[in-house]
Amino acid sequence: MRPRDTIAAVATAPGAGGIGIVRLSGADASAIARTLAAIDLQPRHAHYVAMRDARGELIDRGLALWFPAPHSFTGEDVVELQIHGAPVVLARLLARCIELGARHARAGEFSERAFLNGKIDLAQAEAIADLIAAQSDAQARAALRSLQGEFSARVNALLKSLIDARLHVEAAIDFPEEEIDFLADGQILARLDAIASSLDALLRDAERGQRLRDGLHAVIIGAPNAGKSSLLNALTGSDRAIVTDIAGTTRDLLREAVNIDGIEITLVDTAGLRESPDVIESEGIRRARNELAQADLAILVVAPDDEARIDTLRAEVPRGAAVLVVHNKSDLADRSAIERVDANDHVHVSAKTGVGLDGLRAAIRQHAGLGEGAEGSFSARARHVAALQRVRESLANARHRLVHDRAGELVAEELRLAQHALSEITGEFSSDNLLGVIFSSFCIGK
């Protein structure tokens, strides 16, 4: 249901000597502004006015701008009142707007109204919050691309293809008397495979967008004494991890945050993976494996005499996590290997001397979404990635039903589930609870 009342909020946090904005949205916005300023506002014109309280006393002089519906951010009548940014002055002006019939806006309510009035979709609304929270140029550019609709356009294109395939299946079910078996002619299977290919590309980009927004969770694993703790210290420029020649020194998880181009990388040092009779060390190894299960990136550290353990370490990495093999202690090995980054994600470094660390940082940067292709990234959230993963699962089920069962009804149901999961991203199918959680994370005035 579209709201009809008028809301008001301080839209910009005041700064010392800066400008403050009180924003109104709703059917009574222009009437409230007309009473405040004692003039009729012209659409999309800046008026220099005196704004007064109920007794006629001056609150402040500033600019009043009116954006009539539907040509505004929210799709409603919107008024912006720009005055000096002193908190007490802004509070007086906001209180006067409330006296005249507005109410205080909830967090994110302006963006919520824009969504409800069809001015933006849900992914674009979330991109507004991501743009405000951006801490780097890469994050800001990615959020702006989502706000401009790049992510939504790809979702909608995929959704159209999915609906077309679903209609084809439904037609085959509704007209079984036709001489042609539409489920067996290969067209639907080809469509599903094409959709799956486009989905995989979108999912990869969405995962990169999520890493740009949320940061990268990188877990360092390896055999005891491979130099994991030394590598953590070298990357963070600190002595946070205890380093000794005694195998099994690290017993618990050690976390450190590294900032690369404004993107936070969480590095987690773990106990060396091996079978151990020591109860405390065994608990550390258990925690290491639990942490690895949540990793975006597994950094496999091997010393020159550990090369044979690479496959064993890879087997510890859960599906979905990227792998970067770091050949440490290269100062003790062939010097020609130092500073080399192989195409298959093998990096050769010496944590002791620091040689090769720039190549390692570049490789981590690549996995964080800041490498090649980052310029085309859009911002995405965990819920977007989860929705796309559900779409992939439903598509795989639909393909299986088509190839092995020839069951049109079951194929159609899987495509329906995929359609709904995909539509959750842009908000075409979203529960009120989901909307409440999303918009409550916004700041007041947005």
**Alpha carbons 104 and 28: distance in angstroms, whole number:** 14
| 3-class state of residue 369 by DSSP | helix
Task: State residue 288's pLDDT score.
Answer: 79
Report how many helices (DSSP H) and strands (DSSP E) the chain contains, helices first. 14, 13
**What confidence tier does 279 reach under pLDDT thresholds 50, 70, 90?**
low
Mean pLDDT of the region 343-355: 80
Helix (H) or strand (E) holding 347: strand 346-348
Q: What is the pLDDT of residue 271?
A: 74
Distance of alpha carbon 183 from alpha carbon 189, whole angstroms: 8
Size of the chain in residues:
446
User: Are the beta carbons of 297 and 217 closer than 8 angstroms?
Assistant: yes
Q: For the residues 207-233, what does the mean pLDDT come to? A: 84
Give DSSP secondary structure letters for 187-224.
HHHHHHHHHHHHHHHHHHHHHHHHHHHH-EEEEEEEST
**Rounded to whole angstroms, how far apart are CA atoms 300 and 297?**
9
pLDDT given for residue 305 in this prediction: 75
Q: Are 215 and 262 in contact (CB under 8 A)?
A: no
Strands 58-67 and 47-52: antiparallel
∠ CA(54), CA(56), CA(58), 5° rounding?
Answer: 110
User: What residues contact 257, with CB distance under 8 A and at least 6 apart?
Assistant: 264, 265, 266, 267
Q: Tell me: the pLDDT tens digits for 87-123?
A: 999 999 999 999 999 999 998 899 999 999 999 999 9
Confidence (pTM): 0.74
